[in-house]
């Protein structure tokens, strides 16, 4: 089973800030990584797939990069609606696995 590790577990930021979240895989997963946003009491929402491809309808303030074992999600110009928990997930091999999540909270 591939282990996914996100850092940090939480980050405090202000409106207008840029935030970067890192996701590391325990083995090479090529580009097969997705990012999801989840707000309290809501279902996850797809943001990025293939490490860097934006899901249709997702604003370009979200960007993803990386391949192999290290990936990043960058959120620029944070707005109130962006404060949420972000999850990474590998779909390179079964069982699919998630990182533990990163909570982006208001400073």
Partner 1 sequence: DVQLVESGGALVQPGGSVRLSCAASGFTFTSYGYSWVRQAPGKGLEWVSGISVSGGNKFYADSVKGRFTISRDISKNMVFLQMDSLRAGDTAIYYCAKEEVTEVGAFNYYYKYMDVWGIGTTVTVSS
Exposed e or buried b per residue across 11-26, where buried means at least 16 C-beta atoms within 10 angstroms of its C-beta: bebeeeeebebbbbbe
- Identity of the residue, 1 or 70, whose beta carbon is nearer to partner 1 in the bound complex: 1
Q: Which of 4, 8, 18 is nearest to 62 (CA)?
A: 18
103 is an interface residue for partner 1 by CB under 8 A: no
CB of 18 to partner 1, least distance (A): 24
96 is an interface residue for partner 1 by CB under 8 A: yes
CB of 14 to partner 1, least distance (A): 25
d(CA 49, CA 92): 12
DSSP structural state of residue 31? T
Q: Which of 69, 70, 32, 68 is nearest to 51 (CA)?
A: 32
Among 2, 32, 63, 68, binds partner 1 (CB under 8 A): 32
22 is an interface residue for partner 1 by CB under 8 A: no
Residues interacting with partner 1, by CB under 8 A? Answer: 1, 32, 34, 36, 38, 42-46, 49-50, 53, 55, 87, 89, 91-92, 94-101
């Amino acid at each position: 089973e591939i282990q996914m590790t996100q850092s940090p577990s939480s980050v405090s930021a202000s409106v207008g800030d840029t935030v970067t979240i890192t996701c590391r895989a325990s083995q090479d997963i090529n580009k097969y990584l997705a990012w999801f946003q989840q707000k309290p009491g809501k279902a996850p929402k797809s943001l990025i797939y293939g490490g860097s491809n934006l899901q249709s309808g997702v604003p370009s303030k979200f960007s993803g990069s990386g391949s192999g074992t290290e990936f990043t999600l960058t959120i620029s110009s944070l707005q109130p609606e962006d404060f949420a928990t972000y999850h990474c997930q590998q779909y390179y091999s079964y069982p699919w696995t998630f990182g533990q999540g990163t909570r982006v909270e208001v400073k």
